[in-house]
Amino acid sequence: MLISLKDALEFGEKNGCGIASVNTPTLEMLVAAIDVAERYGVPLIVQHAEVHEPVNSIENIGSAMVELAKRSSAPIVVHVDHAESFDYVKRGFEVGFNSAMFDGSRLPYEENLRITKEVVELAEQYGGRGVEAELGVMPGREDGEHGNNAGDASLYTDPELAHDFVAETGITALAASFGTVHGLYKAEPKIDYELITALRERAGVPIVMHGGSGLSPEEYRKCIKRGVQKINYYTYADKAALEAAKKLLVEEPETFVFSPLAVAARNAVDKNFDALVQCLYADYLKR
């Protein structure tokens, strides 16, 4: 069933857990994500990012995301991730996504503020859908602008600016830079936990962790306790899918069609997402 971003975040805050927010640009990843959410009966956010358009358009995979979410016994949010324009958010809402993130983090502050306000207004026109926005620069983006420099504090989100930004835009959640990176880690992450606390207090809304792959269970739990409620995750699951397909080709070199590779990839992603959910929802699942 579809639930709102606000409801998912409130579940996390009430139960002391982070909400897994997984990108699912392929059907294999989408089916695995829904299966894991149903296995544990927990809220989960499935996402499609603009950068994944070459894999599947938001109209194609998005329609499947919305339909499977509606049919699911688990509470699911369908979220546009890293939309880099107002128009891409609108495309997602037209498909049926009930939440979206506009990423203006690399824009001048005033431009980021202006477009985010427009996105919030658009969300209201579509029935009050959730909006996430980002302040601070997250290293490791695909264009390599800032490399993989997770420890560069000059890129981190300023709590006072976060307060002003949230107050002026009315967003549901704030993605912030505090030491994680997108993609694979080339060095140990250097998370500023005190900054997370300050951001949560000053922003007044749940904090979103981008670059959630590659952290230890202890690091996840410490971030959640400090105020991170939504945790984005993709790269390591996608990597697990690739490794499973490669392993199958080594073990069964006579394979001559694609479908067994798709099954191996889906099973690997299922296992990867399962471990993530067990970690992020640990306190809730123990009850």
87 catalytic per annotation: no
Q: Which of 7, 35, 81, 192 is catalytic?
A: 81
Helices (H), 108-179: 109-125, 159-169
C-beta of residue 72 within 8 angstroms of C-beta of residue 34: yes
Distance (Å, rounded) from C-alpha 93 to C-alpha 84?
A: 15
Contacts 24+ apart (CB under 8 A), 60-66: 61/24, 61/25, 61/26, 61/27, 61/30, 62/92, 62/95, 62/96, 62/97, 63/95, 63/96, 64/27, 64/30, 65/24, 65/30, 65/97, 66/2, 66/95, 66/96, 66/97
| CA distances from residue 168 to 107, 111, 116, 171 in whole angstroms, order as listed | 17, 13, 10, 9
Distance (Å, rounded) from C-alpha 138 to C-alpha 66?
A: 28
The helices-and-strands tally (H runs, E runs) of the chain is 11, 8
193, amino acid identity: Y
Active-site residue set? 81
